[in-house]
Amino acid sequence: MDGQTLAALMFPLLFLFVFLGIPVAFALIATAFLMALPVFGALASLQIYGVIQHTASQFLLSAVPAFVFMGVMLESSGISERLFRAMQIWLGRLPGGLSLATIGMAAVIAASTGIVGAVEVVIGVMAIPIMMRYAYDRSLIAGTICAGGSLGTMVPPSIVVVIYASISNQSVGKLFAAVLLPAGIMVALFLGYILVRALLRPEGSPAVAEGGDLSLAEKLKITATGMVPAIGLIAAVLGAIIFGVATPTEAASIGALGAVVLTMAYGRFSFAVLADTLRRTLLINCMILLIVVGGNIFAGIFRLHQGNQLVQGLVSTLDLPSWGVVGVLLLLVFVAGFILDWVSVVLITLPIFLPILAGQGIDPIWFATVMIIVIQTSYLTPPMAPSIFYLRSIAPPEITFGDMYRGVMPFIACQAIVLLLVLLFPWLATYLPSQIQGYN
């Protein structure tokens, strides 16, 4: 059996392992090992070990543990409760105010955590009981929580962007700058949809007079203590990376220290909290980095069997213009997102895509932005939407799968609008990177 045939068989074998319930990281490693045996024989294990060493030596990946620690420690600080309280005070009186506050909280939590599933669980645990108490439409509740959780993919400092940059040898600062405008547009569309829906159907999303008995000074104090510190910390971390003041690892480390200081200021710090934060950080990092290792091994064996040439040959036989090639690649990402988590999608597809993109002369920063939007959309899209499975784990029985499927569809439409805008107006992704110097 020739090499390209073995390369073509790697994806069906990988999907078979995943459908059998094998964790994605081990499915990637097992597939690569089996396909390495015909070439290396008994030395296959040594070749795989070499990939592990190479992955461990990538300096950029050292930013991931610090970003994860920052997010977990901020969660331990009680910042989510303070954020939600502040958002309720200012937005609760509007139609659909609780949903608006939830999306606002999700945007900030996404920026502080950068982990997709964690954002959804945090905001869901906070917001679902309150929205249920005020008889919000169950589909709106489900859609709001899922859409808010999906922002962990787009809003920097997203772990997706860090992993993407490490694989593609792109600047993290450039990629963070590139996704800022699309992420802002997406949050605005989410808020706009909720507001319009609430105006048209007020019975399913009533305004809530939260904080009506508070004076303006009290409201400002709650806002200053609940929102300003977290937003200031996030802005400082992002600004340091984008403007080249610090490397991603240095900025993430400063963010982690800032999260500890903020937790102390809120009176929530203890050695038990620190131990729990370290334990959860270790578990999350082991999950992410084991998938990174598996993805790199899989991609390496795929290239060894001339899989890249196979894909490039298939694309060239289609004889498509550049926009057609982009469409095919994004479709592959979207379909892969139904089955695999975002880390695996990036690690498997990107090494295959990079030579094709270079051959077509496609702007890598622009393509990175649209690919991240598509990954976020696949995270939300039924029937295999990971967002819905996360929500099912924390939602009460009254919220059914039907409510979830109906609830996410309008938000998927909002994501599609953002994707279309970036496709039609590439400057939305390229303008900020072109204006900022000194990237890391």
Cβ atoms 114, 215 nearer than 8 A: no
Whether the Cβ atoms of residue 375 and residue 330 lie closer than 8 Å to each other: no
Q: Give the Cα separation of 383 and 355 in Å (integer).
A: 32
Burial readout 345-361 (b: 16 or more C-beta within 10 A, e: otherwise): bbbbbbbbbbebbeebe
Q: What is the pLDDT of residue 298?
A: 86
Block means of pLDDT (10 residues each) for the chain, length 440 residues?
A: 80 86 86 86 74 75 85 82 82 87 88 74 85 91 91 85 87 91 95 94 82 75 84 86 84 89 90 91 84 84 82 78 90 84 83 86 93 90 79 87 92 96 95 73
Can you say whether residue 234 is alpha, beta or left, with left for phi > 0 and alpha for psi between -120 and 50 degrees? Answer: alpha
How high is the pLDDT of residue 440? 55
* pTM score: 0.87
Six token digits for residue 426: 């590439």
Q: How far apart are CA 74 and CA 434, in angstroms?
A: 32
pLDDT at 409: 94
CA separation (Å) from 368 to 72, 116, 320? 27, 18, 20
User: Is-contact 265 229, C-beta < 8 A?
Assistant: yes
CA distance 121 to 104: 15
Q: What is the pLDDT of residue 194?
A: 95
Q: What pLDDT shows up at residue 437?
A: 62
* Alpha-carbon span 71 to 61, nearest angstrom: 16
Specify the amino acid at residue 291: I
* Structure confidence at residue 330 (pLDDT): 93
